[in-house]
Each structure stands twice: as C-alpha cells, then as structure tokens.
Amino acid sequence: MLVVSASIEVYPLRDTILPPFTSKVTRTAFVSLWGEEPLLGRLGSFSVLYRDGKPLYKRLDTSELLVARAGERLEARVSFLTGGSPPVPEDYSTFMFSGTEFNTRVTGIEVTTLENLRVDLPKKFSLKFLTPTLLPVPGRGELLKEKGIKRRYKLLPDLPLALRLLTYDLKLRKIDLVKATPFQIYKWAYRALAELDYHVKPETVLYTVRDGKPSTERGFTGFVLYELLDEASPLKQELEKLLAFALRFGIGKSRSIGFGQISLQPIRK
C-alpha cells in the first residue's frame, strides 16, 4: 500500500468569504486537480487552508468572518492511501467554490510505501496541535448517552491515548502499519513519554451551519514538549511509524476533514 501526501496552493480570483472550516475548499481543490472524488473515511485526510503557516478556521468566540483576498496564496495538504499506482494530478486547475473561482496547483508530492513510513524521532521533541484535536475517551459514550450529552472530548493532550486510538482504527481498517496491539502501544507510551512542558488551550470551532443551527466541535490546540525515556525498546519503531502516519493524516476524531493536524520538531537544547 502506498502513502501519498501532496502540497497544494489555492488562489481566489476575487475577495471571498471562506467556509468556517476550510478543509471543504481543500477537498474541492483535490477533485479539481485529480479529476476524481477522494477516498472517503480515514483513508484520506484534507487539511484546512493555511495562510502564512496559520490554519484558517472559525472559532466560536469571534464574530469575524474568514475572508480571503483576491490573488492571495493559501496552502493546504492532502494525504491518502492507495493500493495501486497513485493517480496523477493536473499541474494546474480552476474550480468554483460558493460562487468564487479559484486557481489551484500542486507544489509537491511525496509517495512512500506503508512499510517504509516512519519519522526519525529524537530523544526530546515538540508536538504541536495545529488544529483542534478531538480525543474521545473509550467507554465514556454510554455515560454521555444516559445524560443526553452529544459528546465530550478530552481538553488536554494525551498522546498515549491518541496513539492507542490510532492503532485501533488502523487495525480495524486492516491497515498493517504496526504489529503491536493498541493496549501494548498505550501501556508503553504511558511510561516512556514524559511531558517536559506544555501550552494548550481549549477551543470551540464552528464546522458548518445546518438548517440554521451551528454545528460545533470542542477540542484543544497548543504544544507539548516530550522526552522519550525508553529509546532501546523495539516499540520505539512502532511509535515512529504511528507518528509519521499522524503527521500526514492527523490524530483523533474527524482527522479526515482537518481536525487533529500536528507537526513535530526536535528540541535542540
């Protein structure tokens, strides 16, 4: 199985108001460039748009609209899995979104096999949660249902839990990225990953409006500094594979539509 990650740019041809969660534009640009509907579910991931490295989505605590100016460059990333030869996109295309014409082009494509997917993990690293991350707690659903509560995600980072959920989801979809079980990953990561510092905040974001009612999600953004205490364990390679996957596809719930996007940087000091 191949992992394809593409960087794209979009340029509105006139001033326009963007949707509250801008991965919808990314998805439309993908269809325009690749000429086909993308893989659904968690086999594909469509990031929000970025302006100068800043993700574009609407927080519920602000009344400001997301406005894009004519000709400005907005960036995004698309990642997907394919069992055959990866489809070849057009170099350049034009598409319509909400009555506005956009130009779009591919600026880079990375293709690797699932077997070779990994990140070289340093002893100390910073993990940034760029877009709201939605981590459900296993077993909490029944309690929420009894109380008539739609959902409650964790508002603090929990990387061992995120890795457990990702491992479970991959195995459920028969994606053979790692050999360890979700619980083995969780138990080891809980001991081996020490938090050194953090700065996170909860955020409620507007995803869309349905029948005049806002559809919102509440998660967290920010960063955590980690130290890997068990570099000799064979599970380190499993961790490197999972983080490499997460860097392309995100972590947590709704990562296919741009939630849970992360970046990783080594700590040099």
Stretch (H or E) spanning 247: helix 235-249
| C-beta of residue 240 within 8 angstroms of C-beta of residue 176 | no
Helix axes 235-249, 182-192, angle to 10 degrees: 100
Element (H, E) at 94: strand 92-97
- Nearest Cα neighbor of 123 from 227, 263, 220, 234 is 227
Query: For position 17, what pLDDT does the model report?
Result: 95
Average pLDDT per block of 10 residues along the chain, 269 residues long: 95 96 96 76 86 95 91 96 87 94 97 95 97 91 78 92 96 94 97 97 90 88 98 96 98 94 92
Q: What are phi and psi of 175, to 5 degrees?
A: -100, 110
Is 117-266 CATH 3.30.70.1900?
yes
Phi, psi of 42 (to 5 degrees): -90, 10
Longest dimension (CA), the chain: 55
pLDDT in the model for residue 41: 53
Looking at the domain 2-113, which fold is it? Elongation Factor Tu (Ef-tu); domain 3 (2.40.30)
Asked if 201 and 61 touch (Cβ cutoff 8 Å), the reply is no
Confidence (pTM)? 0.94
pLDDT of residue 232: 94
CA 157 – CA 134 distance, rounded (Å):
10
Q: Which of helix, strand or coil describes residue 34?
A: helix
Q: Where in the chain is the domain with CATH 3.30.70.1900?
A: 117-266
What is the pLDDT, as a whole number, of residue 110?
96
- Residue type, position 170, single letter: L
pLDDT for 42 equals 54
Q: From residue 225, how far is each of 126, 132, 195, 261 by CA, in Å?
A: 4, 18, 6, 16
**Res 241: pLDDT:** 98
Considering the chain, tell me which residue range(s) the CATH 2.40.30.310 domain(s) occupy.
Answer: 2-113
Beta strands 74-82 and 44-46 are antiparallel
